[in-house]
């Protein structure tokens, strides 16, 4: 198992999504339908490589890493689209095509909305169905898998217990992966203060925490910031589950991050190489996907994404 996102390497196995928020029954909102007035045929590898070249001019190349940043501490070679194809990546299949989301513990109404909207965003980003399951109570977690942080004083849950005892045994047969959200802080064991999330690639399960993303109920800007951070974490870690390594060439959602500050400086969109990987893995219509991402970003205030997405749409339309 690997911890993800803070001073950690992240590689996980998740999936994506057409979206659903479950109270006692599941329902699909059909957010990211692939139906279109035009007949779409999945892009071939040569067509995807052409798209990669077309999108390069609007993407920002990374400069030298600053002290404390991920690439200043981690030596990673990156992964081109061609290298990704040679790795025999995990992709959606007819048998494993759905992402399941498992809320654990109590959530206030704003946090519930964050989970719902993040699931919608995942559905657009990865063009496959998601189902949000009935919440599980923290009462089901034994005392040995809980603690109060010795210096910070906050309530934490043990990631290994959540993955091995609660999530892996309930993985649905059609799941690409099962991920949990919790409002409690997480810690992976001795020697760790906390992690934003943790996942097992082999078991296709992971858990993420909203605890350190700010209180979305405090004001509209805090809600927007929490939503952006959650969408970014969810799509980044799910990208790893599709066998995508950290991006080391461009400003990209698949960059590694050592801190919340570094993550906040990175985009939610994908660079041309990682965009091609996701389109290949999901067989998505890239134009329809961009349209849906623009619509979501406009409705929920992800302003930094809109300009880039509109430029990408113009290129893909042409």
Map out the domains of the chain with their CATH numbers.
Answer: 2-317 (3.40.390.10)
147-203 pLDDT tens trace: 999 999 999 999 999 999 999 999 999 999 898 999 999 999 988 888 888 878 778
Pair of tokens at residue 300: 């929920």
Residues facing residue 185 across a β-bridge? 156
Global pTM reads 0.85
Average pLDDT estimate for 247-254:
97
Q: Strand order of the sheet with strand 185-187?
A: 146-148, 155-158, 185-187
| Residue 28 to residues 84, 122, 129, 292, Cα–Cα distance (Å) | 32, 13, 8, 16
pLDDT for residue 38: 52
Residue 130 in this model has a pLDDT that exceeds 80 = yes
What is the distance between the alpha carbons of residues 123 and 121, in angstroms, rounded to a whole number?
5
* Contact predicate 107/115, CB 8 Å: yes
pLDDT digits (tens, 9 = 90+) for 28-50: 334 444 444 456 688 999 999 99
Q: How would residue 318 be classed by pLDDT, with cut points 50, 70 and 90?
A: confident
* pLDDT tier at 13, thresholds 50, 70, 90: very low
Whole-Å CA distances, 250 to 148, 269, 271, 273: 39, 11, 6, 9
pLDDT above 90 coverage of the chain, percent? 73
Residue 207 CA, chain-centre distance (Å), reads 11
Least confident of 94-98, 119-123, 176-180: 176-180
Region 55-78 average pLDDT? 94
Say how far apart CA 199 and CA 311 lie, in whole Å.
Answer: 34
Angle between the 220-241 and 109-126 helix axes, to the nearest 10 degrees? 40
Q: How far apart are CA 38 and CA 14, in angstroms?
A: 30
Report the candidate in 11, 12, 50 with the shortest Cα–Cα distance to residue 286: 50
**Model pLDDT, residue 39:** 63
**pLDDT average, residue stretch 19-31:** 35
- Name the residue among 50, 29, 16 with its Cα closest to residue 283: 16
3-state SS of 59-83 is CCECCCCCCCCHHHHCCCCCCCHHH
What's the pLDDT band for 237 if we cut at 50, 70, 90? confident
């Amino acid at each position: 198992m690997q911890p993800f996102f803070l001073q950690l390497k992240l590689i996980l196995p998740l999936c994506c999504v057409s979206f659903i928020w479950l109270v006692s029954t599941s329902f699909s909102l059909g957010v990211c339908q692939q139906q279109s007035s035009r007949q779409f045929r999945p892009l071939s590898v040569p067509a995807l490589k052409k798209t990669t070249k077309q999108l390069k001019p609007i993407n920002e190349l990374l400069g030298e890493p600053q002290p404390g940043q991920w690439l200043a501490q981690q030596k990673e070679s990156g992964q081109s689209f061609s290298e990704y194809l040679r790795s025999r990546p995990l992709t959606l299949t007819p048998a494993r095509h759905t992402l399941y989301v498992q809320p654990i513990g109590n959530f206030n109404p704003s946090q519930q909305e964050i989970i719902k909207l993040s699931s919608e965003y995942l559905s657009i980003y990865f063009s496959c169905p998601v189902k949000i399951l009935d919440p599980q109570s923290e009462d089901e977690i034994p005392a040995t898998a809980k603690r109060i942080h010795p210096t910070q004083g906050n309530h934490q849950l043990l990631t290994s217990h959540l993955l091995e005892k609660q999530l892996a045994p309930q993985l649905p047969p059609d799941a690409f992966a099962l991920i949990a959200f919790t409002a409690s802080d997480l810690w992976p064991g001795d020697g760790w203060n906390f992690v934003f999330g943790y996942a097992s690639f082999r078991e296709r399960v992971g858990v993420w925490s909203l605890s350190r993303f700010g209180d979305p109920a405090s004001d509209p800007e805090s809600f927007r910031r929490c939503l952006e951070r959650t969408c970014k974490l969810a799509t980044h870690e799910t990208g790893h589950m599709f066998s995508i390594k950290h991006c080391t060439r461009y400003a990209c959602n698949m960059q590694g991050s050592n801190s919340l500050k570094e993550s906040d400086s990175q985009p939610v969109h994908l660079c041309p190489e990682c965009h091609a990987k996701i389109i290949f893995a999901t067989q998505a219509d890239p134009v329809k996907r961009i349209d849906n991402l623009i619509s979501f970003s406009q409705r929920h205030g992800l302003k930094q994404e809109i300009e880039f997405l509109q430029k990408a749409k113009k290129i893909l339309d042409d």
